[in-house]
Amino acid sequence: MKTRKDPIMNRLHSALLAAGVVLAGLSAPAFAQGEAAPSAAEAGISPAPIEGAAPGSAPESAKGAEAAVGGASEHGGEHATPHYPLKKPAYVDWSFAGPFGHWDLGQLQRGLKVYKEVCSTCHSMNLVSFRNLEALGYSEDQVRALAAEYQITDPAPNAQGESFQRPGIPSDRLPSPYPNPEAAAAALGGAHPPDLSLIAKARAVERGFPNFVFDIFTQYAEAGPDYIHALLTGYGEPVPENVTVQPGTYYNPHFISGPALAMPAPLSEGAVSYDDGAPTTVEQYSRDVTAFLMWTAEPHLVERKATGFVVMIFLIGFAIMLYLVKNRVWASTPH
């Protein structure tokens, strides 16, 4: 059966086609004689900021970012946007990985020491209290002594209405080395260091298809620790000729937001001494502090995995029981 078209819609469709032809004819002569199209600067359009530019870098860092891929992209373009990180992190064998993962308390204690002596000079950890460190194997007295090493600004003023500092107590949170983010940025050349409390869950490199499908079965959740470990150990590589590193930044191909970042290499050989005889290398420091940051981001990781394993066993047993009951109930009923 034929359908009757709406004459109003037909006329509207014809009018739109005619308007498109007229506009195309008006705009085509502008470049018909070989004229070059006006650039964004000539047209008065300011370029949009590049996502992931290195902290504190100048707008010219966009040129270095484009050059970071050798002037070519997966589509064959000459000035295509690069994909960061330039090098994806390698997979590290963590003790807390997998459905039966567990915390290595010795490693976590070493990671806390690396954080105290290296990372805490710039980065805060505002969501971790001193009393939480008892989960790392420290006694209550040890935690109390550790908290007393810090001077904490009491949130409540004294009788004269003035703020004052006092030794820390277990209920206090690990203090920031700067009074506020603005002071931190001013002291570090305009780059505000992020808080490290949840950094292991907040930073990760996408694995893409089909890896994220396999992760459902392998319980892979270590993308954040793998990235942090790669970033901490990725300094010192030679800068390629086609990469421009802005002054005040440091080349690191594992950085997720650009070819360089404002943080210099924080770890060096022998910077932190270990009491348990562990190697004092950058690789060991990186593994220890990364494991500690994963614990601060998800301290109940091991308990969650243990609970999930018990739940899965229960669901499998419950499904088998339902199947057997169904067969028993309907055994005498003809199908």
Per residue in 209-225, pLDDT (tens digit) is 888 898 888 888 899 99
What pLDDT does residue 14 have? Answer: 65
Task: Categorize the per-residue pLDDT at 10 as very low, low, confident or very high, splitting at 50, 70 and 90.
Answer: low
Per residue in 179-198, pLDDT (tens digit) is 998 999 999 888 889 999 99
Give all domains of the chain, ordered by start, each with its CATH number: 84-128+193-320 (1.10.760.10)
Question: Which pTM does this prediction carry?
Answer: 0.74
Q: Quick check: 25 pLDDT over 80?
A: no
Per residue in 270-300, pLDDT (tens digit) is 999 999 999 999 999 999 999 999 999 999 9
What pLDDT does residue 157 have? Answer: 85
Q: What is the chain's mean pLDDT, rounded?
A: 82
Torsion of CA 88, 125, 52, 55, to 10 degrees: -120
Residue 263 among known ligand-binding residues: yes
The β-bridge partners of 129 are 173
Taking the mean position of all CA atoms in its chain, how far away is CA 250?
18
Q: Which two three-digit tokens encode residue 292? A: 């500690």
Q: Each residue of 51-76: b (16+ CB within 10 Å) or e?
A: ebbbbbbeeebbebbbbbbeeeeeee
Distances in whole angstroms, Cα of residue 134 to Cα of each of 105, 108, 166, 170? 11, 12, 22, 10
Cβ atoms < 10 Å from Cβ of 206: 10
What pLDDT does residue 207 have? Answer: 86
Question: Are the CB atoms for 194 and 224 separated by under 8 Å?
Answer: no
What pLDDT does residue 49 have? Answer: 38
pLDDT, average across residues 138-143 = 96
Closest C-alpha among 92, 309, 300 to residue 219:
309
Residue 122 among known ligand-binding residues: yes
Q: Which amino acid would we find at residue 28?
A: A
Name 117's Cβ contacts closer than 8 Å, sequence gap at least 6.
271, 272
pLDDT, average across residues 104-111 = 98
Q: Quick check: 27 pLDDT over 60?
A: no
What pLDDT does residue 16 have? Answer: 58
Question: In this structure, what are the phi and psi dihedrals at residue 327, rounded to the nearest 5 degrees?
Answer: -65, -40
Return d(Cα 115, Cα 96) in angstroms, integer: 19
Q: Where are the beta strands (DSSP E) in 25-75?
A: none
Q: Quick check: 33 pLDDT over 90?
A: no
